[in-house]
Amino acid sequence: MNVLKFGLVAIGVILCLFLFGGPNMESTVQEQEAFRDGSSLGLAVSFTGFVMFAGIGLILLFFVVQLITNPKRTVMSIVGLIVALLLYFVMSMMGTSDTNETLQLLDPVDQGTIASTSAGLWTVIIGIVVGLAVVVLGPFMGRFRK
């Protein structure tokens, strides 16, 4: 497994080095288009896609194995993910009062992008606060039950 990990990291680093050698924003449009259509960017994007799909596959495999070996905790983990997803949807439907002007964005983006990002941030913040509350209050709750 270590050989596989180091091999994947080495391939990723080498492909990233190809990207560093590419044109920057001060290059001509022809150079940028040639790089975009070239093999080095294609290899890097393909490798990134492979790593992402392999990661998703391993996560799903992990859930299946855990569901077989430890079903109670796995079901609770899946319930937690569903709760986080529902919280995200609720926050997304609530929307946000932020706009391109209030955020002082240099490049304007769609209002849906702002609402989606805001919902994601609020979901993460609520998750962190709840997690910290569980860590801090957990020992006290055990004592109150007795």
Q: How far apart are CA 39 and CA 107, in angstroms?
A: 29
Question: Assign residue 104 a region: left if phi > 0, alpha if psi is -120 to 50, beta otherwise?
Answer: left
Confidence (pLDDT) at 124 = 95
State both tokens at 91: 């926050």
Mean pLDDT of successive 10-residue segments in the chain (146 residues)? 82 78 76 79 82 89 89 89 94 86 84 90 95 88 71
Confidence (pLDDT) at 38 = 78
State both tokens at 88: 């995200």
Confidence (pLDDT) at 27 = 77
**What DSSP designation does 109 have?**
-
Q: How far apart are CA 35 and CA 44, in angstroms?
A: 12
**What DSSP designation does 21 have?**
T
